Amino acid sequence: MPLAIVLDSEPLGLVTQRQGVAKAELCRTWLESHLVNGDEIVVPEIIDYEVRRELLRAEKTESLDRLDKLAASGRVTFLTLRSADLRLAAELWARARVQGKPTAPDPALDVDVILAAQALNHGGGDGSASAGLVVATGNVGHLSRFLKADLWQNI
């Protein structure tokens, strides 16, 4: 059964890096192998924003070009941020705080809960994850509170 692999900012950022960076090369090879195997690679719009803002700040124009080419390639699914995603993210944010397990300081825009909400709405269409959905990340702790997540190298 093909997977739906939702990219967090670490793997997305790595695939935009210049040639010759060992970890970036590993990540590009990893991504390509999943595409060849028929897995769906999903990029939530909030993660594009998170990676893009840093590339803009650092004036990494070649990395921005690689990100744009990936978006235009049609090989990955870009998830538009919708009102339903933000509503679910607000529920996840509140639930995490009630449980005493916040993923970010209260005044912060919590990208992790927005990513989780986008993934959940994509996976089950109703805010529940499908069995084949997993978030590829560099930090499993926060995301695994909401849905299946693993280090990208382990998927």
CB neighbourhood size of 88 (10 A): 21
Token couple for 6? 């939702």
Q: pTM of the prediction?
A: 0.91
SS3 at position 88 = helix
List average pLDDT for each run of 10 residues in the chain, which is 155 residues long.
94 97 98 97 96 98 97 95 95 92 80 94 72 92 92 97
pLDDT at 102: 82
Q: What is the 3-state secondary structure (H, E, C) of 5-70?
A: EEECHHHHHHHHCCCCCHHHHHHHHHHHHHHHCCCEEEEEHHHHHHHHHHHHHCCCHHHHHHHHHH
Q: Where do the domains of the chain lie? A: 4-154
User: What number does CATH give the domain 4-154?
Assistant: 3.40.50.1010
Distance CA 5, CA 76 (A): 10
Other CB atoms within 10 Å distance of the CB of residue 52: 19
Beta bridge partner(s), residue 79: 44
